[in-house]
Structure 1
């Protein structure tokens, strides 16, 4: 009698579960891509494509409005750029503005943050007042200070009452850039005050109480507790102020138009003026490319120096 051996057929009950999981993840991925699509289109339209066109147009003689097509000219735009006195004046003004505004504005913002961080009555009011210039349009602020800086403006009137002859703030090449630095620091320090304030509130209060019990002065508490505790905050603030300082444009465009005698012209202002007023799109792209490389190098260098100091500590 022959025995028939039936094959051992086992049904994997986990297969439907696995398939359902794969289908669910696929559906989630499709939904995520669908939600990301609008942002991707905007990023590509207003960021990736303009950057790519800048790299391409910098090596052409393209004009904003011209019946003739753009032609490849190699590095002619860069040769003309590096022999242009206006470019070197704009580069010098941009560097001076950045070197002065970074420590000046960050220090003022830190002082304000320390003041409003104290537990006294009225701090909410002062936080609002200090932050008000940030939410005000830079165009409105520039026009306001344009009137203040006039020869018979409020600033010179107050100086005259103190027996001081006020200068022609925006008409004198020696004072114009300083006037823009002063206005820019006043307008933007409220934003960085909030960042400093957020960093201050992350420092445990117990450290100050222990330091006070040990007899540490206010300055010693700041030097050994507050300043080290703001390490990450100050790195972020220095980088953001530096990038914003290199992009100086609106104040110059409204208040001085780069004058007098190119004493307030900046790289961004020169690029916009060359591209839209003079319609030299290729030349403006070359300026923008140099500006991009400069900001990239400065940011990486600043970040490297900051990390090196932190590592040594």
Structure 2
């Protein structure tokens, strides 16, 4: 998406807004919207599948499909933010580097492999770590869409902490889990800083 928008086109502003709009929307609203779309009986997605000759899918009511469905919804919601970060990284790459590579006979694929990807390494590390932390903090989507089910297949760490502390009233146990979880996030953050520093030093 970032590579497509990095080229000058008249409709780029429209597509930037379209890609980024799910990021600024409430996660509750997005979750409810996808609940209607993924409804196994009346949802638009299953209606489309039926019209093209495929069988309807259970999606959120299946222990095998529910977590992957929530992952898809989360990716769809966050892709616009990641796209803008990658776009900023692409626009920071000097144009004369590509011009010199083109004069040396590199084709588009070689310029992407040997110039774009290496120069986007700090941006890629940042996106990877922030996305990983966001995945650890996943709460709203399973809470609204599945309540951790079916058969606890979408029970995330944060949602488990919430249920243990606020629903089951086991505050001490929930606090212990939250402390361990915070420590894990801290270690991931330290790892990110180390990777970025090594990249800058190299």
**Shorter chain as normaliser: what TM range?**
over 0.9
Distance 1:257 1:204, change over 3 A: same
Distance 1:262 1:305 in 2: 35
**What is the TM-score normalised by the length of structure 2?**
0.93
Gaps of 5+ in 2: none
Say whether residues 1:295 and 2:193 are aligned partners.
no
**Structure 1 equivalent of residue 163 of structure 2:** 273
CA separation in 2, counterparts of 1:178 and 1:124? 31
Match of 2:88 among 160, 176, 198: 198
* More contact order relative to length (CA 8 Å, sep ≥ 6): 1
Work out whether residues 126 and 192 of structure 2, in 8 Å CA contact, stay in contact via their aligned partners in 1. no
> Any unmatched runs of 5+ in structure 1?
1-111
The correspondence for 2:20, drawn from 127, 131, 139, is 131
Query: Could you tell me which of 97, 105, 116 is aligned with 1:207?
Result: 97
Superimposed CA distance per residue, residues 74-114 of structure 1 (whole angstroms, 9 cap, x where no aligned partner): xxxxxxxxxxxxxxxxxxxxxxxxxxxxxxxxxxxxxx111
The structural deviation recorded for 1:303 is 4.8
Structure 1 pair 311–127 and aligned structure 2 pair: CA distance change class (3 A) = closer
Task: Give the TM-score, by structure 1 length.
Answer: 0.61
Whole-Å separation in 1 of the counterparts to 2:127 and 2:195: 15
Query: Is 1:165 the equivalent of 2:48?
Result: no
Distance 2:100 2:12 in 1: 25
Instruction: Answer whether contact 2:164 2:171 (CA < 8 A) is retained.
Output: yes
The Cα shift of 1:212 comes to: 2.0
- What count of residue pairs does the alignment treat as equivalent? 201
Distance 1:205 1:311, change over 3 A: closer
* Aligned with 1:221 (options 90, 111, 121): 111
The residue aligned with 1:143 is 32
**Equivalent in 141, 144, 147 of residue 254 of structure 1:** 144
Query: What CA distance in whole angstroms lies between the structure 2 residues aligned with 1:184 and 1:229?
Result: 27
Aligned-CA RMSD value: 1.8
